Structures are given as structure tokens and as C-alpha cells.
Amino acid sequence: MLDLQRLEAGYGESMVIRNVNLRVNPGQIVCMMGRNGVGKSTLMKSIMGLIRLKSGSVFYNECDLTSLSPDRRAKSGIGYVPQGRDIFPQLTVEENLLLGLEAAADRRKKLPETLFDTFPALRQMLHRKGGDLSGGQQQQLAIARALASGPKLLLLDEPMEGIQPSIVMEIEAIIETIKRNREIAVLLVEQSLEFATSIADYYYVLDRGTIVAEGNAEQLSEDQVKKHLTV
Ligand SMILES: Nc1ncnc2c1ncn2[C@@H]1O[C@H](COP(=O)(O)OP(=O)(O)OP(=O)(O)O)[C@@H](O)[C@H]1O
């Protein structure tokens, strides 16, 4: 469904992503791992069109998205939760969620009821300001907002970062629910080898902007992979 071909991207003169080939198949959970600063967020932004590619192509369901704007990419069915969450603190939970509908291809105006099956806590908080929520609740809100438009692929950039360990389990449970349903594929940037091993169908390891290892989850904890992850 997602097919990155020989992607090269960066900022100004500096090249950050080099010759990246990556695939995500329907319903798959794919983990992107790598040390800080190797280019994981840059790769996510390149997929969404937030950074102009220097070369290469982004295919989604056989369509070439490479020259499309970020909102057209979102409308084609890709949800994106950036690192740091990016919710609107002054807007209510409901208003934040409704903004997610902007990315829907079918101009729907109502939030899908099933959204609250996955995020029951948000239903109780619809009228609270986003900024008054805890870090974990804001992360749930950011994921729910990305799912409101009914994407078939979700890009999640380090959703556990900066969240208390007790709440990490709640976010992990949400990703596990998505995996169980197999209706949405996820490309997940994740630092925890343990969680990645438990959830991923496939993994990629990025080092200095290049894919240096990839494979099935069973191979993920092998020393070859660990060597690229430890500082
Ligand atoms: N807006 C920017 N302008 C210039 N350089 C940037 C910008 N954003 C990131 N970089 C540089 O690009 C490189 C890759 O950064 P990126 O944030 O993609 O890495 P990362 O793997 O996501 O790291 P982390 O896990 O710390 O978020 C780094 O050297 C970083 O300094």
C-alpha cells in the first residue's frame, strides 16, 4: 500500500534521507527504529509531503503522491501524528477531533461512533480544553484526531515519547487494538525494542538516513539489529 522508492530528502543543502526503499502492506504494523537524529521524523515528514524530496517517489495504493500537497496526501487516506503531538491547546477535545475530519475524502461532518470504542476516555472529556489534558490523554487525542477521517494508513512518530510509564501501556493498548482489527496499517517510529518486538509485523532500522537492517519481528532482537540501536 505504501511504497517508498529510492527516497532522498533533507533540509537545504544537507541530505538527511538517503536512498530509502520501504514498504507497508495493508493491515501491517511496521516499526521504524534508529537512534536519535538518524532521520526518522524527516522520513515521516517526507511521506506526508511536509519536506520536498530531492529525489525518489512515494507511492500509495499504486498512486504516485510525490508531487501532491500534504492535504491531498491526507485525503488519499494517510493519517499522521507528528512527534510532539501538535494538538490545539485552546480548542476543546471535540473541536480538535472535528478538525481531523478536514482530512476526510468524503466531507463527513460527524465523528465516527467507533472512534470512542477505541478511545472511551475521550468521550468523557469532549468539552475540556486540549491543553488541560495530561500528556497521555493529549497523545490519545492526537491519535484519535488522525483516525477521525478514516485513514487506511497511520503514521505515528514516537507516540510514547515523554509519557509516564503507566500511560505508555494505554497507548500500546490502542496500537494493539488497531493491529487486532487489521483495518489500518501503521508505520510506527518506536524506540522500545521490547514493544516493537511484541507488535511489529516487520521492521526497518535507520542509521544516518539509510536503512541498515530490515526483517520480520522474530529477527528484531538479534545482535545485528541491536548494534544499530545502542548508543
Ligand atoms: N527543520 C530542520 N532544519 C534543519 N535540519 C533539521 C531539521 N529537522 C531536523 N534536522 C536535522 O536532520 C537530522 C535528522 O533529524 P530527525 O528529527 O529526522 O531525526 P530522528 O531520527 O527523528 O531523531 P529523534 O529521535 O531525536 O527525533 C538531524 O541531524 C537534525 O538535526
State pLDDT tens for residues 181-198.
Answer: 889 999 999 988 888 888
ipTM score: 0.95
Domain that holds residue 41: 2-229
**Residue 125 in contact with residue 133, Cβ under 8 Å?**
yes
- φ/ψ (deg, to 5) at 87: -80, 165
Q: Each residue of 186-202: b (16+ CB within 10 Å) or e?
A: bbbbbbebebbbebbbb
- Nearest of 58, 66, 49, 79 to residue 157 by alpha carbon: 79
Q: What is the CATH number of the domain that holds 214?
A: 3.40.50.300
Integer Cα distance of 195 and 89 in angstroms: 29
- Ligand 1 probe mutation, 41, 85, 156, most atoms within 8 A of CB: 41
Residue 51 Cα to ligand 1 middle (Å): 12
Residue 127 Cα to ligand 1 middle (Å): 35
**Pocket, ligand 1, Cβ cutoff 6 A:** 11, 16, 34, 36-42, 83
pLDDT digits (tens, 9 = 90+) for 102-125: 888 777 788 988 899 889 889 999
Residue 27 Cα to ligand 1 middle (Å): 28
Residue 41 Cα to ligand 1 middle (Å): 7
Taking only the tens of pLDDT, the chain with its 231 residues reads 999 999 999 999 899 999 999 999 999 999 999 999 999 999 999 999 999 899 999 999 999 999 999 999 999 999 999 998 789 999 999 999 999 998 887 777 889 888 998 898 899 999 999 999 998 899 999 999 999 999 999 999 999 888 888 888 889 999 999 999 889 999 999 988 888 888 999 999 999 999 999 999 888 777 778 888 876
Average pLDDT of the chain is 92
- Nearest of 50, 40, 99 to residue 228 by alpha carbon: 40
> What total of structural domains would you count in the chain?
1
